[in-house]
Amino acid sequence: MTKTKLKILCLHGFRQNSAIFKDRLGGFRRFTKNEAEFEFVTAPHKVENEEGSKEDVDERGWWFQRESNDHFRGAEPGKTSRGFEESVQTVEEHVASHGPYDGLLGFSQGAALVGMLCALQSQNNLRFKVNFAIMISGFKSKCIEHEKMYQTKVEIQSLHVFGEQDKFISIEMSESLVAMFDNPVVMRHSGGHHVPSSGPQKNFYKDTYKHFLQSCLVLKDDIDVHEEKKMEKEQSKENSDISSEVE
């Protein structure tokens, strides 16, 4: 019998793409290979060249803070989130074609987007449903257009991972996203802006990731059993109605 695994959709950070993020998530994926399988989606917007960009790399972003495709800083407030709606649509279309998925995983800007997708789901404004979310170096968007998404708590399982030495996303920014979720699991590490999977705390990282996903597997089994019972009940009622019509 094939062991049930979680199916997780992964969203990369700003100036990354699905291939880059798949590589950088390698340690996490190895730790949890018995619990989950991972798929990746690339943001629809190509980042134009700016300082620090590599011309031979397909760098992508989920939204921008200017009219040009060259600027995003998580710590900066903004009045616009150009490209955001198209990115949500891209994820929805990917899920429609390749899903369903049990959960979402995001890094940096991708983690911020995961948080907002969860908020949209809680507000019944998303075309798919997930049961958990993992946000690494995540934060609440500081864009004025996104403020409405943070008005209510999100009631799904969540794991938040962030580093004390992160030079791009402060601890306070990540904690603001944590506060948006009910009963969040938090893993704070001593590193920076990356997915922690090595070093002296390697076993701690591994145990945290595996324990969280194992708890999500228990939830998945409970949901599957509930759905089976619901279908059986509906089928029984349908058979009963048919019998009544025959009589």
Active-site residue, from 87, 94, 102, 108? 108
Name the token pair of 67: 């009219």
Catalytic residue among 81, 146, 160, 166: 166
Sequence-separated (6 or more) residues with CB below 8 Å from residue 179: none
Coarse DSSP helix, strand, coil percentages of the chain, rounded to the nearest 5 percent: 40, 20, 40
The answer to whether residue 68 is catalytic is: no
Cα 198 to Cα 214: distance, rounded to the nearest angstrom: 21
In 3D space, the residue among 143, 170, 117 whose CA is nearest the CA of residue 65 turns out to be 143
166 is catalytic: yes
Q: Which of 70, 71, 193, 215 is catalytic?
A: 193
Per DSSP, the three-state class of 212 is: helix
Phi (first) and psi of residue 158, to 5 degrees: -145, 145
236 flagged as catalytic: no
Pairwise CA distance, residues 42 & 18, whole Å:
5
Contact between residue 167 and residue 192 where contact means Cβ atoms under 8 Å apart: yes
CA distance 239 to 241: 5
What is the full DSSP assignment across 57-79? S--EES-BSSSSTT---TTS-BS
Which two tokens mark 61?
């972003």
Tell me the catalytic residues. Answer: 108, 166, 193
